[in-house]
A and B are shown apart, each in its own frame.
Chain A
Amino acid sequence: MLMENRLRVLRAERNWSQQDLAQRLDVSRQSVNAIETGKYDPSLPLAFRIAELFELAIEEIFLSPSRHSSKAI
């Protein structure tokens, strides 16, 4: 089960394109797109880089699958 995340919203708030974010994270634009669309979960080191870039905690960006599903119920 892949995680949902708020990456697209956080990026939009800063008026960054996917390419802008990719350059800041030193990854490909495809990586950013895959994470945003929930096709790929980043590794823990990349998740930390994302969190540090947005100055947020990881769980403020990536939604816990277990907590998120229990809320849905």
Chain B
Amino acid sequence: MTARALRSAAWKRYNWRVIWFSLLYGAFLLPAVYGFKHHLISGPAAWVVAILPAIPIIAIFASMGRYLVEEQDEYVRMLMVRQMLWAMGFTISCATIWGFLDNFGLVGHVDGYWIVMVWYFGLAIGSIVNRLTLGDGGC
């Protein structure tokens, strides 16, 4: 992220939200892993416990959307939007390619939540593209 954005109130709020949701993610994930590993959870509760770690991740994505709404600097906001578009394009491209490779038995199945990591990698690609084309990396 650019220097101004690092200082902007919107960016600070976004960072705090990500920190809190990351802590919440850990708080949900660790008991879930422990519970399932030791067969302590079953029935409808198992569904709830299994889905709970996903909620903070979803909240982090929502925080990104909130950041776009709150960021007052239109140029910095555009950099972030460009990054997100690159991340989206990269992610759906990877998912499509992997889907066909998987379908034809050339690669193994991958857990769906890895798509989040691919998306974040796409954000990094977007930052590189921003730096190469505009001279500013963005987030």
Taken residue by residue from 106 to 139, chain B's Cβ proximity to chain A (1 for < 8 Å, 0 otherwise) reads as: 0000000000000000000000000000111000
Closest 7 CB pairs of A and B: A28-B4, A31-B75, A30-B2, A28-B73, A30-B136, A39-B134, A27-B73
Taken residue by residue from 9 to 46, chain B's Cβ proximity to chain A (1 for < 8 Å, 0 otherwise) reads as: 00000000000000000000000000000000000000
**Contact at B134–A31, with CB atoms within 8 Å?**
no
**Contact at A30–B78, with CB atoms within 8 Å?**
no
B96 sits at the interface (CB 8 A): no
CB neighbours of A39 from chain B (8 A)? 134-135
Q: Chain B residues in contact with chain A, CB under 8 A?
A: 2-5, 8, 72-76, 78, 134-136
Which interface class (under 10, 10 to 19, 20 to 34, 35 or more) fits A? Answer: 10 to 19
* A60–B60 alpha-carbon span in the complex (Å): 44
**Contact at B2–A28, with CB atoms within 8 Å?**
yes
**Contact at A30–B3, with CB atoms within 8 Å?**
yes
**Contact at A42–B136, with CB atoms within 8 Å?**
no
* A39–B132 alpha-carbon span in the complex (Å): 12
**Contact at A28–B134, with CB atoms within 8 Å?**
no
CB neighbours of B3 from chain A (8 A)? 28-30
A46 sits at the interface (CB 8 A): yes
**Given known contacts A22-B4, A40-B78, A31 and B135 CB-to-CB distance under 8 angstroms:** no
**Contact at A43–B136, with CB atoms within 8 Å?**
no
Instruction: Enumerate 27 A-B pairs (CB-CB under 8 Å) in ascending A order.
Output: A22-B4, A26-B72, A27-B4, A27-B73, A27-B74, A27-B75, A28-B8, A28-B73, A28-B75, A28-B76, A29-B3, A29-B4, A30-B2, A30-B3, A30-B75, A31-B74, A31-B76, A33-B135, A34-B75, A34-B134, A34-B136, A39-B134, A39-B135, A40-B78, A40-B134, A42-B74, A43-B74
